[in-house]
Amino acid sequence: MKNGKCFKKKIIFDGTDISKFKDNVDPKLVVKMLVWMSEGSFMHFSDAEDQDFKAKYKELIDCFDLLKKAFYK
């Protein structure tokens, strides 16, 4: 399990330009929040009765764009 967590962190942070984040923003916390949002959204997708994945995916991307504006310089 420990090796899996290290691998996951490597995948997430390799190539990440942390200089894009505002000075008072913790990039690791942002990534953790994005993972939680993604996991929750995909669980919601699987429970959805209407199965309009395209609209739900767009809504998730809109949320990511909002966070990008909030956390990036």
Per mean pLDDT, which range of 35-39, 63-67, 68-72 is the poorest?
35-39
> Taking residues 9-18, what's their average pLDDT?
67
Judge whether 21 and 71 are in contact, CB under 8 Å.
yes
Segment 16-64, tens digit of pLDDT:
788 889 999 998 888 888 888 888 887 777 766 666 778 878 888 898 8
Q: Is the per-residue pLDDT at 3 higher than 60?
A: no
Distance (Å) of CA 40 to CA 60, 67, 69: 10, 16, 21
pTM exceeding the 0.75 threshold for the entire prediction: no
